[in-house]
Amino acid sequence: MSDSYVLIKGAMVIPMEGTGRESGDLPLPSNRNVVTIDAKNCLITPGISCGASLLIVFGYYCHLRNVYGSLYTPDDVYFANYAAALSLLNNGVTTVLDYCHVINSPAHADAAVKGLKDAAIRGTFCYGFYQNPKVPGDHSSIATDTFGPAAQVDNALRVRHEHFPSNDITSLLLTFGAALNDPPMQSRERTLGELSIARKLGSRLTTVHASVVSHGASKPEVVQNFADARLMGPELLAVVRNSGAGIVGTPDTELQMGMGYPVVWKATDMGCRACLGLDITSNQERDVHRKTADVLRMAILGGAEVMQMESLIGSIIPGKKADLVIFHCDDIDTVPVVDPIGTVVFHASTKNIDTVIINGRIVKRDGELVGVDWRSLQDQIISRPNG
């Protein structure tokens, strides 16, 4: 973007750091290649960072992964990732951690990466080591699958070098990470072995999803609260904090599945890097009973911190990447804007997101995604379940 500019005029800025007035010292562009956005009656925030977390529970593991995960074709994976990333952009999410556990072949991995890159979202693609059954629903068929753990590691190395040669967050929108298998489903030794492999692959981030499964209960999908299980107390949170690792929580899903009060709030109170993520996007929008400033910070700057990208994104100050969301606040749900942060958290919705910018490039304008053939994509999405 060295010879082109986006000039935003008239908006109220929620910078997340600083005062929001630092841009007054920046020179205005003098060349002709300037896109001017009239942002009167608008609020601007940094782009939202979503740690797309997935806590695995017993029923999900038995049915969705063991059956449906095996049915995905590479084309299915491409359109799923592409459409999901566009949906995130449409909702003002500019950075995502993608936990990918449908890598059934090298072609599946390539398709997943291509879907994210074609959507031009910022984030980290985390290569999942999970092995779906060769025969849907028959876990024993894994034994005859040639695309086993060793082949997965070789393929992960190929993906790392072919698609992410530098893996540098300062020059790439998308970087490479790793997603370990779920600790409750395997031995401690295997988990540590996978972590060692992830480091040898040069993963920028490594994610692991954990839950406490209540086996033998009347509802085996119900997960016990981490605190009640004494697995997420102050001592462990202190270890997480001191290591620099981050915690991603999905409050809506955790409350729905009986996991107890989301641990991310306790974690952030103790100084941990913590942010919010999405799991089942069709079952959202519950009250998490925190201050609006806490919620917005966790969604924006907290996410950047968890993904180790706070030096580049998460706030609006000179020197950071231009990942921005512009909310128009001139409708019946948002007028008057007495509390800008409260307006964004409680009153604004997707319909209020006028413009989304990633790395200085406009990806949504006047409420519509830019450069997306929605009709064609719509046909592809509809045809997938019936293919």
Residue range 33-75, pLDDT digits in tens: 788 899 999 999 999 988 754 433 344 555 566 777 788 899 9
CATH code, 343: 2.30.40.10
- CATH at 196: 3.20.20.140
Question: Are 159 and 113 spatial neighbours (Cβ–Cβ below 8 Å)?
Answer: yes
- Report whether 44 contacts 323 (CB < 8 A): no
In a shared domain, residues 65 and 182: yes
Within a domain: 251: no
Based on the domain organization, do 96 and 168 belong to the same domain? Answer: yes
Counted residue by residue, the chain has a size of: 387
Helix (H, G, I), strand (E, B) or coil at 292: helix
Q: How confident is the model at residue 225 (pLDDT cuts 50, 70, 90)?
A: very low
Residues 187, 113, single domain; the answer is yes
Q: Residue 98 belongs to what domain range? A: 48-213+277-307
The Cα–Cα gap between 301 and 312 comes to: 11
Beta strands in 71-212 (DSSP E): 93-100, 122-128, 174-179, 206-207
257 domain-assigned: no
Q: What is the pLDDT of residues 359-379, one digit of tens each?
A: 999 999 999 999 999 999 999
pLDDT at 206 over 60: yes
Domain membership flag for residue 181: yes
Mean pLDDT is highest, among 47-56, 153-162, 259-268, for: 153-162
pLDDT of the residue at 258: 65
Poorest-pLDDT segment among 209-218, 320-329, 346-355: 209-218
Mean pLDDT of the 200-209 span: 91
Q: Do 124 and 155 belong to one domain? A: yes
The more confident residue out of 30 and 212 is 30
Q: CA-to-CA distance for 239 and 237, rounded, in angstroms?
A: 5
Using a pLDDT cut of 90, give the percent of the chain over it. Answer: 42
Q: Is residue 119 part of a domain?
A: yes
Beta-strand ranges (E) seen in the chain are 5-9, 12-13, 34-38, 42-46, 48-52, 93-100, 122-128, 174-179, 206-207, 246-249, 273-276, 324-328, 353-358, 361-365, 368-369
Q: How far apart are CA 29 and CA 50, in angstroms?
A: 32
Per-residue pLDDT averaged across 114-129, rounded?
Answer: 95
Q: Is 308 left (phi over 0), alpha (psi -120 to 50) or beta?
A: left
Same domain, 95 and 34: no
- Give yes or no: residues 62 and 98 share one domain: yes
Q: Residue 268: inside a domain, yes or no? A: no
Which tops the pLDDT comparison, 71 or 193?
193
Collapsed DSSP state (helix, strand, coil) of residue 166: coil
In a domain, 242, yes or no: no
| Structural domain includes residue 238 | no
**141 HSE (CA, 13 A, CB side):** 10
Do 70 and 137 lie in one domain? The reply is: yes
The model's pLDDT over 281-338, given as tens digits with 9 standing for 90+, comes to 544 454 445 678 888 998 899 999 999 999 999 999 989 999 999 999 999 889 888 8
* Distance between CA atoms of residues 96 and 275, nearest Å: 11
Number of domains the chain is built from? 2
Q: How many angstroms separate the CA atoms of 37 and 6, rounded?
A: 7
Residues 320 and 298 in one domain: no
Residue 238's pLDDT is what? Answer: 86
Q: Could you tell me if 66 and 193 lie in one domain?
A: yes
Residue 82 sits in the same domain as residue 123: yes
More confident residue, 385 or 267: 267
Is residue 264 domain-resident?
Answer: no
CA distance 133 to 123: 28
Same domain membership, residue 291 and residue 162 = yes
pTM recorded for the entire structure: 0.83
pLDDT at 157 over 50: yes
Asked if residue 180 and residue 282 are part of one domain, the reply reads yes
Gap between the Cα atoms of 141 and 123, Å rounded: 34
